Chain A
Amino acid sequence: MVQERTLPPSQAPTVPISPEQGLMLYEDMILGRSFEDKCAEMYYRGKMFGFVHLYNGQEAVSTGVIKSLRADDYVCSTYRDHVHALSAGVPANNVMAELFGKETGCSRGRGGSMHLFSSEHNLLGGFAFIGEGIPVALGAAFQSRYRKDALGDPTADQVTACFFGDGTSNNGQFFECLNMAALWKLPILFVVENNKWAIGMAHERATSQPEIYKKASVFGMPGVEVDGMDVMAVRAVAQEAVARARAGAGPTLIECLTYRFRGHSLADPDELRSKAEKEAWLARDPIKRFEAYLLKHNLTDEATLKAMRDRIQTSIDDALTFAEDSPEPSPDDLRKYIFAED
């Protein structure tokens, strides 16, 4: 096991959260976790196909960042996109239906696990190739600035959050887009989910400077390192970056130190990562930690949390029923959606 990086001290929230906010964050993380667990079950039962990349362990990042956005802000994801979609408000029913290849899926069964889209929720994708979402997110951020400054629309202050992994930060699109975002002061958050691995490639073996947040400085952009297993810490950092972006002061690179609790995809035997490493990170489970936080600060009680978990479980079961009962796309529509007129 490579020497673990010292985690940054937890950024204590400047504004304490209300019980409602606490429960909202908790609910979102539970939703993500329960959804992914159900996916694993369905995949192994042969109900779901293709490459399916689960998000277990990284929930504090999705929740901490996306729940700091407004509904009209944009989210751009990767192939590990189920939970980003859920945090962005895409109903579990439509995400599950997409994984089942159904017409009611958020991409109408044409996309699958790695291609979740929802224009209604400003979810820009769902990208199966690493790095390609970064320029697309940049384009959405450019669009906000264009509307504001070229078209004079004062309401065009939308922010774009762009997620990608540690391995992806070695790809040229990362550097090219950091440059352009800083150059044009675009309202964008580059959120690196550093889970230490890119399939079987350990981060330290792939990059000359493993501290990714430091790469922001050469572009004259703020770069922040944050404990990605602590939703409050992620949220604090995200809120500050969102405020900066919205105010027209430009992008931020946020490196969230996190870990995936499952293999790279459901097809990955996950034999490379050591037991010691896995256990060390499992002990930092962001959901358990946040539960403890909520209870310690008397923001809720165990009964409320349990009721919430049960309710989410029911909604996941409903999503499954919805997906299973939904129709497949009609063969007559095979060629639909190739062109805008279709």
Chain B
Amino acid sequence: MAETLLFNALREAIDEEMGRDDTVFVLGEDVGVYGGSYKVTKDLYEKYGELRVLDTPIAENSFTGMAVGAAMTGLRPIIEGMNMGFLLLAFNQIANNAGMLRYTSGGNYKIPMVIRGPGGVGRQLGAEHSQRLEAYFQAVPGLKIVACSTPYNAKGLLKAAIRDNNPVLFFEHVLLYNLKEDLPNHEYVVPLDQAEIVRSGKDVTLLTYSRMRHHVMQAVKGLEKKGIDPEVIDLISLKPLDFETIGASIQKTHRVIIVEECMKTGGIGAEIIASINDRYFDELDAPVVRLSSQDIPTPYNGKLETLTIVQPKQIEAAVENMVALKV
């Protein structure tokens, strides 16, 4: 066991996969000589050379399309979005090419690539650097969308994403890079398509992902003291959703609260609610509640920013309310 920071867990994942498969390479802004804006690729340039850790010009749509072309012809690119928000410039290449090209080509090509980097609301970074693109991208067919939340799952999931033969959007969170955890010394991979049961419980199912997992767990501390026993599920895979795990939990608790950092409109939670209504409506004892970020550009002001995203106290209150209404 070795205590590892989340950004180093990601770095280990990339290093191990590059060592294992020489078609794996990293590209993006400042990934090489500089070592990545969050040091996820530190020293890999020295180890693997300038073609395998490729510093690109600031040209997001073109280097993303370039990665698609490289993937179509047999390489396994990992794009680092310096900030995932910048990949809005590459929306076309991610949607039309990474996501849809395999289908459009009738299976002629596969596109094994990972697009990873920091997303989410940080600390007073302003609206443009506080994006949650997972909600924007979830409608694109052919993409897999994954969000990591701990050093352990960050490493294992990134390794799985690199080995996957499909384009994977891999979200890290700006505020989680310095989380610490003891990681196993042996190699491990965490499956991309499985939600993680963070805490087993019987009263209510809390569905969450990325940084909100930690807000939820803070709320759980207070709820435990009040004798409430929630089940916490980290979705991990935002697309496709793991309805086996979600469904089993609903059949146990019959109550669902979704806690997400994306905005409410067109969010991940909106999609989950619709799917729960399709599949598990009869199991529900109460309407599904979602706690989402406000539908506004994230304000710079610290107090306003705090009001924009869901806080542990709100989660606690929502759970208490739902449990109190128990029929």
User: Which residues in A have some Cβ–Cβ distance to B below 8 Å?
Assistant: 74, 76, 105-111, 115, 117-119, 124-129, 132, 134-146, 149-151, 172-173, 176-177, 179-180, 183, 336-342
Contacts and interface: CB of A to CB of B under 8 A. Distances in A.
Interface residues of B, number: 47
Contacts of A111: 104-106
Contacts of A127: 96-97
Instruction: Point out which of A126, A129, A139, A143 has the most chain B C-beta atoms below 10 A from its C-beta.
Output: A139
A222 B142 CA distance: 39
Q: Which 3 A-B pairs have the closest CB atoms?
A: A139-B69, A135-B65, A108-B106
B227 interface: no
Interface of B: 22-23, 25, 49, 51-52, 56-57, 59, 61-75, 77, 92-93, 96-97, 101-112, 141-142, 144, 164-166
A157 to B, nearest CB: 14
Contact of B104 (A107, A143, A173): A107
Contact of A136 (B66, B102, B103, B106): B66
Contacts of A149: 51
Contacts of B73: 74, 124, 139-140, 143-144
A187 to B, nearest CB: 12
Given A117-B108, A118-B108, A176-B59, A337 B102 contact: yes
Contacts of B97: 127, 132, 136
Contacts of B109: 117, 119, 124
A110 B104 contact: yes
B112 A135 contact: no
Contact of B72 (A107, A109, A139, A336): A139
B72 A124 contact: yes
A146 B106 CA distance: 27
Contact of A135 (B22, B63, B107, B141): B63
B93 A135 contact: yes
Given A108-B106, A180-B62, A132 B93 contact: yes
28 contacts: A108-B106, A111-B105, A115-B105, A118-B108, A119-B105, A124-B69, A125-B105, A126-B104, A126-B105, A127-B96, A129-B96, A135-B65, A136-B66, A139-B66, A139-B77, A140-B73, A142-B69, A143-B74, A146-B25, A150-B22, A151-B22, A172-B59, A176-B59, A177-B66, A183-B57, A340-B111, A340-B164, A341-B165
Contacts of A117: 101, 104-106, 108-109
Contact of A132 (B65, B67, B166): B65
Contacts of B63: 135, 176, 180
A150 B52 contact: yes
A146 B22 CA distance: 10
A151 B105 CA distance: 28
Nearest to A137: B69
Contacts of A139: 65-73, 77
Contacts of A336: 107
A144 B69 CA distance: 11
A119 B63 CA distance: 22
B95 to A, nearest CB: 10
A172 B77 CA distance: 22
Instruction: Point out which of B49, B63, B96 has the most chain A C-beta atoms below 10 A from its C-beta.
Output: B63
B70 A109 contact: no
A143 B75 contact: yes
B64 A135 contact: yes
A138 B66 contact: yes
Contact of A146 (B61, B70, B165): B70
